[in-house]
């Protein structure tokens, strides 16, 4: 039976109760970046299938992929790849029992953010 004297308190802690922390945000972004990578991969597969289908269809798909919108999606995919990889590296370090202190975990979170942007920039320069 429910406690009628509990007042206007929530049943359990939830997102509106807690202040977002760097580690929770970076963890959520790792999951989002993984899903974004799937979208980028599907676009590349679509491009390859169009190349195998015929010249006119390939021209249409290639025009979309190489448009400004396509370039932005591919740039986001490069960032997502680096961010997701650095997030996986962070979890490998955590799985070994290192870097679990709040200060160290925060530094690794900032390292993921800064590192993914820097590696994306370097990748774009290399291409």
DSSP assigned state of 13: -
Alpha-carbon gap, residue 21 to 13, rounded angstroms: 15
Q: 111 with 77: CB under 8 angstroms?
A: no
Q: Which of 61, 54, 118, 44 is nearest to 86 (CA)?
A: 118
84 is annotated as contributing to ligand binding:
yes
Alpha-carbon gap, residue 45 to 50, rounded angstroms: 8
Alpha helix (H) residue ranges in the chain: 22-53, 55-65, 68-95, 102-126
Residue numbering of the annotated binding site for heme: 84
Residue numbering of the annotated binding site: 84
């Amino acid at each position: 039976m429910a406690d009628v004297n509990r007042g206007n308190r929530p049943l359990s802690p939830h997102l509106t109760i807690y202040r977002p922390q760097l580690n929770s945000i970076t963890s959520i972004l790792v999951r989002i970046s993984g899903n974004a990578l799937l979208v980028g991969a599907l676009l590349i597969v679509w491009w390859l299938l169009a190349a195998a289908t015929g010249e006119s269809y390939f021209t249409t798909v290639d025009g979309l992929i190489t448009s400004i919108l396509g370039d932005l999606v591919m740039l986001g995919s490069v960032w997502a790849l680096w961010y997701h990889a650095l997030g996986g590296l962070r979890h490998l370090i955590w799985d070994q029992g290192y870097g679990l202190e709040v200060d160290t975990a925060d530094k690794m979170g900032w390292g993921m953010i800064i590192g993914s942007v820097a590696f994306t920039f370097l990748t774009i320069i290399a291409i």
